[in-house]
Structure 1
Amino acid sequence: MKKIIMTILATLLLSVVLVGCGNSEETDLNKALGAKEMTVTPTKVTREKAATDRKRILKIEVKVKNNTEKPIGIGAGNFALKDADGKEYDIYGMKTDSLGQEVAAGKTITGNIYFEIPASLEKGWMNYVFQMDQEPVAEWLLSFPGK
């Protein structure tokens, strides 16, 4: 079942990439995806200056909904970012408002995920894993504003 879902997801993502090739603004912002337990929606992407001019801090605001009847924890470590070549970028965890908390049953929260990226990077794939050391259950193509 997991392979079927991943195949369908890969097909959908390939469709988004092929459609997006003609339009650089085509992204998955505001697309709700995730596992049956949690739904995640990236709602806003911004850039901040970093210590060097060659790097930027990417801030991705996400809305997270707990679809279960028990509290579930989620944090920035549940997310990864990679570019079109598959290079992964590190979480930037030095912000006090980084996502990392327990979501009460049936509730929705908003939090931020930070990545350190090259200043020249214009878009990338952010994925979400429900539990560490498992395959991603959701992936979004996001466009990064400004340089």
Structure 2
Amino acid sequence: MSNGEDKVPPEKANIPTMNRFNLAAGIIIAAVLIFGAFSATRGTERPAERATTNSAVKNNPFEITVTGVKEKNGKSSDSKFVVVEVKAQNSNNKPASIMSSMFKLKDSRGNEYSADTFASNISDLSVNPGLTRTGNVSFEVPTNASGFVLGVSSDMFDFGGADYKYVDLGAIK
């Protein structure tokens, strides 16, 4: 250090750049594996937990009962609305929000449909414990779609890992 330049200590001078890359790649891979393992335990359908119309399905914080299902004309000639009448009771000990985005519809072909927010009326940002809200969740589907199952999430926003409980809607009249 006589000429004023800093010298790298010998024990650090021999660390190859590739080792740093391997370390960074290893950390990223470990994070992806951990996240993937966590996601694999969520978002799975449990057929044994399927409810039917007029029976409650519990998915915290709400206990959801489908009280009716009907079809209406859609926005175009090749679509229809499946309108699901629901009763949602907050069975938690804290206020909770209910939104149409907590529901999805599946048909017999495995297609998934999101709720039409503007055609639904089951939104409430603060449902106190023990209180119940009723309303409709509407889904626009192709006219030839059938065999519907309603998915009920505990999360307002599903980013691919929400846990759903299902209600078999049976024959729609």
TM-score, length of structure 1 as denominator length: 0.75
Deviation at 1:121, TM superposition (A): 2.1
Aligned-partner Cα distance in 2 for 1:88–1:69: 32
Q: 2:53 matched to which residue of 1?
A: 29
The answer to whether residue 158 in structure 2 is matched with residue 116 in structure 1 is: no
- Give the match's secondary structure for 2:117: coil
Deviation at 1:44, TM superposition (A): 0.5
The Cα offsets for residues 8-54 of structure 1, whole Å up to 9 and x where unpaired, read as x33x26xx7xxxxxxxxxx8111201224210011100111123222
Deviating more after overlay: 63-72 vs 83-92: 83-92
How many residues are matched? 129
Runs of 4 or more consecutive aligned structure 1 residues displaced over 3 Å after TM superposition = none
The Cα offsets for residues 51-105 of structure 1, whole Å up to 9 and x where unpaired, read as 322211111010001112221001100011111222112322223x521102121
Aligned-partner Cα distance in 1 for 2:112–2:92: 31
Deviation at 1:144, TM superposition (A): 4.9
- Give the match's secondary structure for 2:55: coil
Of Structure 1 and Structure 2, the greater strand share is in 1
- Give the match's secondary structure for 2:52: coil
The answer to whether residue 79 in structure 2 is matched with residue 55 in structure 1 is: yes
Residue type matched to 1:104 in 2?
N
Does structure 2 retain, via aligned residues, the 8 Å contact 1:82–1:124?
Answer: yes
Structure (1 or 2) with the larger CA radius of gyration: 2
Residue type matched to 1:100 in 2?
S
Residue type matched to 2:129 in 1?
A
Question: Aligned-residue CA RMSD in angstroms?
Answer: 2.5
TM-score, length of structure 2 as denominator length: 0.65
Q: 1:23 matched to which residue of 2?
A: none
Does structure 1 retain, via aligned residues, the 8 Å contact 2:103–2:114?
Answer: no
- Give the match's secondary structure for 2:101: helix
The answer to whether residue 162 in structure 2 is matched with residue 135 in structure 1 is: yes
Residue type matched to 1:28 in 2?
T
Of Structure 1 and Structure 2, the greater helix share is in 2
Stretches of structure 1 that go unaligned for 5 or more consecutive residues are: 17-26
Aligned-partner Cα distance in 2 for 1:31–1:107: 18
Residue type matched to 2:98 in 1?
I
Does structure 2 retain, via aligned residues, the 8 Å contact 1:47–1:144?
Answer: no
Check 1:36–1:130 CA distance in 2 against 1; reply closer, same or farther (3 A cut). closer
Q: 1:100 matched to which residue of 2?
A: 123
